[in-house]
Amino acid sequence: MAHYEYDLRGMICPMPVIRTQDRIAELLDGDALEVLCSDPGALHDIPAWCRIHGHSVTNAVHEPEGLIRIQVLVHKP
């Protein structure tokens, strides 16, 4: 149950979703991934991607300076 961070700032949607998806493919059940992004679209798209793949978003915040942090708890069968 490791915790990872992934910096995707500067990328424009859907790239943050694609990178998050590919990173999660390498992780194990119970791992936590914190993604940092700058495109506000990610606040919508990453949680949507997580919902359809059965992972939980445990936190999603848009900080005042524009930084977006999304925490995902990975669920795998």
Partner 1 sequence: MVTKRKAVALISGGLDSMLAVRMVQEQGIEVEGINFYTGFCVEGHTHAIRNHDKKKKKRNNALWVAEQLGIKLHIIDVIEEYKDIVINPKHGYGAHLNPCLDCKGFMVRKAEEWRITNNFDFIITGEVVGQRPMSQTAKRMPIVMRESGAGNRLVRPLCARKLEATLPELEGWLDRSKLGEISGRSRKEQIALTRQWGIKDYAQPAGGCCFLTNQQYAAKLQDLWTSRGTREYELDDIMLLKVGRHIRPNADFKLIVCRDDGENNFATGYKNRFISLYANSHEGPLALFDGQASTENLKLAARIVARYGKGKHASVVTVQVSEPRESEGQELNVTPLDTTEMPREWIL
Active site residues: 13
Among the listed residues 23, 53, 62, 69, the single contact to partner 1 using CB under 8 A = 53
Contact 38, 9 (CB under 8 A): yes
CB of 59 to partner 1, least distance (A): 20
Residue whose CB is less far from partner 1, 31 or 45: 45
Sign of the torsion angle spanned by Cα atoms 34, 62, 51, 59: positive
Residue whose CB is less far from partner 1, 16 or 31: 16
How many CB atoms lie under 10 A from the CB of residue 41? 14
